[in-house]
Structure 1
Amino acid sequence: MDTDSSALFFRNVMLSAMIVGAVGSLSSLVLLQLAAPHYPSAAYLRDKLNLLGIGLLHMGISRDKKWKKPAISGAIQFSESAPTKTIIFIRHGESEWNEVFNRGFGRSFIGRVFRALKQEFKWLPTPESVFVDSSLSPLGIEQASMMARELAARSDPDAMLLRGSSSDSQKSIITCSNLRRSIQTALIGLRPRLEKTLEKVYVNTDLQEVTFNIDGIALAAPYQAPALDSLMSHFPRKFSPDTMLDLTKNTGTKSLSSNGFLRFQGFLDWCFSREEDVIIVAGGHSLYLRYLLRTYLPEDFDYIGKHKKQSNCGVLRFQIKQGYIRATSADNSQKHQISYQIEPTSLHIVLGDFH
């Protein structure tokens, strides 16, 4: 069974189980709603069940990977001084979801699923989860730490920028998605820079993964940080999300009306509204990057990243230009619409690979 087949199998099992339990759960949700103001565990359980319901809807009717390309008249056009940004895209470390479903499907697979389900039930009345907004696995934490060590050992401009040793560091900004594995990767992998510059990481809903699966549903409420207790041991001083995260762009989990393209455009609009030259996505997602490359690289330009996954804690640098297209609206009128294009010759793998 390959990765996509296993994810589809798990998706169908979850759909069936949650539909069967929906009627009985309604009365339980009413009781939880009454108990929530008095018991934190009841509030966590209520919120978890609500997110599982949202995850069910995404599994069943989400169009996160499906969008209609705008009707374009001609190629994207650029002014003589077209704005350009450099994006350094770092994929997150291995997640607990990856640990269960991406390590092969031999004898150990059933055991991994059983242990994950057992842990999920144990964590139901807590802010933690294995499947919803999957956190970094122990290997994922080590991968983020290893990335920091590799960057510390190198003297090239990209490594110096990412560890905060370059004068250009002030011309860059760090951002990540609102999913826990992304935030954890950013804070662990770029810890040397963060401790040196004392800057904040911008948590951005528009970077949320392009997926139907429940590991892509964010636990954090709008403008709040998720549970990040696992980070405590990685910082010598007391860890506080308030001092390390800017949550103004975390508008909560993606909506059913959202899709990858809308989030791409929202993210890129934000990038070009910033004064910094370099945007560091310090904990991006594999499918997000794959669809981003397919959308903004020229169609006739073949690149491995359009078809393969970026490795965990892999680092890709590229430049993207802002231009415009003549788009046809519903009434057949044409208007200029902002669009973007990745410069093919700028693609450079800094760390890791695609596989």
Structure 2
Amino acid sequence: MGCCNSKLPPQTACYHDGSNETPETESSEVMSSDDEAAGSQLVLTLLSASNMPRLDLFSASDIYAVAFLQVDGEPRPPRVTWPVKADATNPVWNSSRLLGCAEEGAVVVVDFYDHDESAAYDVTKLSGSRPDFIGRAVLPVADLPVGGGSVEALLELPRRSLSLSSLRRALQPPGHPPACTLARVAPSMLRGPRRKVVYLIRHGESLWNEAQADKDVYGMLSDVDHPLTAEGRAQAEALAAQLSAAAGATPGGDSLLESTQVLCSPLTRAVQTCLIGLAPLLAGEGPRVRVVTLDPNLREKRNAMGKDSSGKWVGGKLQAGVRTTLRALYDDAPERAAPLCEVPLDLEMVQAKWWLGSRETEASVDARIEELGARLCYSPHNVIAVVGHSHYFRQLFRAQLDERATLDGGDASALTVQKLSNAGVARCEVEFRAEGARITAVQLLPGTELV
């Protein structure tokens, strides 16, 4: 089907202890401080699936997953979901969900479905028109590695009558059977801070931004995945200079330079901004990060005419393409491009097509934002840099800004209607609650404006 925008399966966050209340104390406990209570909570990580059958005639399946615990053959709530991966044979999620208390003898059940835009099926309520069922993985909780390592579980496939879907699958070449890879978040992770600092960084000016300002329709539509302009490069370099100037100051504990994880949209303008603007962080010694994780959840919202939100490359070709564009951007100073090209990129989540070719719905973007929240929640890092796009960040604020949140000590509502300036940075304090991630305070770094 290829374009999965409407009626996305609802996600169940259940990040923590089921309470929607903000704790009265300053406790940094996510779960109960009692080791035994925390240890009984199962947070399941769905890393990936492989060799998934094709149930669509003209493309790979659009796959999403639903998981729950089962005891003595009886399913236990909640049912949690992982969002649709379009046209996916080997989808990657690498994110976690809280399944609740794992009783003795419990098994994990993970069901995989082929999303159909015409199906209005609510997997959390088992109601509506059922989508195509792909298969089921069942694994005893006791077999899940705790705090390191993963396990592969083969899928049990349903018996199908002869139909177009089964004929399509029968024509597939033989190979390894469908499987999924699972892991369990260590109980110690559930006792980490329930608050994190996340820096949202918008990319510098791109060729599309420039063409839009000049009302150059041809420049906007003649290409996809536009790189930075010379002005965008200068904006990213100004951010790098700001970070370098701060490097000599006494470490603040949660400053941008103290980030230990960097997530970035795979779109070229974002990756270029990340490598240039965060160079003082990425080139640092000691505990500082030296790798940029490309996360498709961070790509820009795809509007009807938004060809700039479609990618060009996947896998190793993406890394090669970014390096080529960096060298072109620095054709006047190739020695400055060389170290930027040496920063390693984590390409795990961009091995297959990671963008849409048509307009994306609000629900689809919200699902990506919720997925990002789940990744941040169970990340072992507490200060995280996220490089992305203006419309995506604005929708993120609409979805996750707490009603009492402040912006530089005042009203934060402007964040839901305006955009960060190019290469602008917003420091966000984020709490992870039962209903999901909530942003409680935002500060704009010097030089950043809302436009």
Give the alignment's TM-score, normalised by structure 1.
0.61
Preserved CA contact (<8 Å) 2:220 2:307: no
1:160-239 equivalence runs, <5 A: 161-162=255-256, 164=257, 169=258, 172-197=260-285, 199-212=290-303, 213-222=306-315, 224-226=317-319, 227-228=321-322, 229-232=324-327, 233=330, 236=336, 238=338
Amino acid at match of 1:290: R
Larger RCO: Structure 1 or Structure 2 (Cα < 8 Å, ≥ 6 residues apart)?
1
Q: Helix, strand or coil: the match of 1:317?
A: strand
CA distance in 2, matches of 1:70, 1:248: 23
Residue aligning to 2:423:
313
Amino acid at match of 1:134: H
Distance 1:293 1:67, change over 3 A: farther
CA distance in 2, matches of 1:223, 1:135: 18
Once the 2 structures are TM-superposed, how far is the Cα of residue 296 of structure 1 from its aligned partner?
A: 0.8
Q: Helix, strand or coil: the match of 1:340?
A: strand
Once the 2 structures are TM-superposed, how far is the Cα of residue 276 of structure 1 from its aligned partner?
A: 1.0
Preserved CA contact (<8 Å) 1:93 1:143: yes
Equivalent of residue 145 in structure 1, options 217, 225, 237: 237
Larger strand fraction of residues: 2
- Structure 1 gaps of 5+ residues are 1-53, 104-108, 121-130, 326-338
- Structure 2 gaps of 5+ residues are 31-193, 406-411
Equivalent of residue 437 in structure 2, options 337, 340, 343: 340
Distance 1:240 1:91, change over 3 A: closer
CA distance in 2, matches of 1:158, 1:148: 18
Distance 1:299 1:210, change over 3 A: farther
Does residue 450 of structure 2 align to residue 354 of structure 1? yes
Once the 2 structures are TM-superposed, how far is the Cα of residue 176 of structure 1 from its aligned partner?
A: 0.6
Once the 2 structures are TM-superposed, how far is the Cα of residue 70 of structure 1 from its aligned partner?
A: 7.7
Residue aligning to 1:84:
195
Residue aligning to 2:120:
none
Residue aligning to 1:260:
365
Q: Helix, strand or coil: the match of 1:175?
A: strand
- Give the percent of matched residue pairs that are identical in Structure 1 and Structure 2: 26
Residue aligning to 1:18:
none
Distance 1:263 1:160, change over 3 A: closer
Residue aligning to 2:395:
291
CA distance in 2, matches of 1:203, 1:100: 26
Residue aligning to 1:247:
347
Amino acid at match of 1:278: V
CA distance in 1, matches of 2:299, 2:388: 8
CA distance in 2, matches of 1:248, 1:350: 31
Residue aligning to 1:329:
none
Once the 2 structures are TM-superposed, how far is the Cα of residue 145 of structure 1 from its aligned partner?
A: 0.9
Deviations 1:97-140 (Å, cap 9, x if unpaired)?
Answer: 1001134xxxxx3xx445666xx4xxxxxxxxxx3111111111
CA distance in 2, matches of 1:207, 1:248: 14
1:84-123 equivalence runs, <5 A: 84-103=195-214, 109=215, 112-114=216-218, 120=222
Once the 2 structures are TM-superposed, how far is the Cα of residue 240 of structure 1 from its aligned partner?
A: 7.7
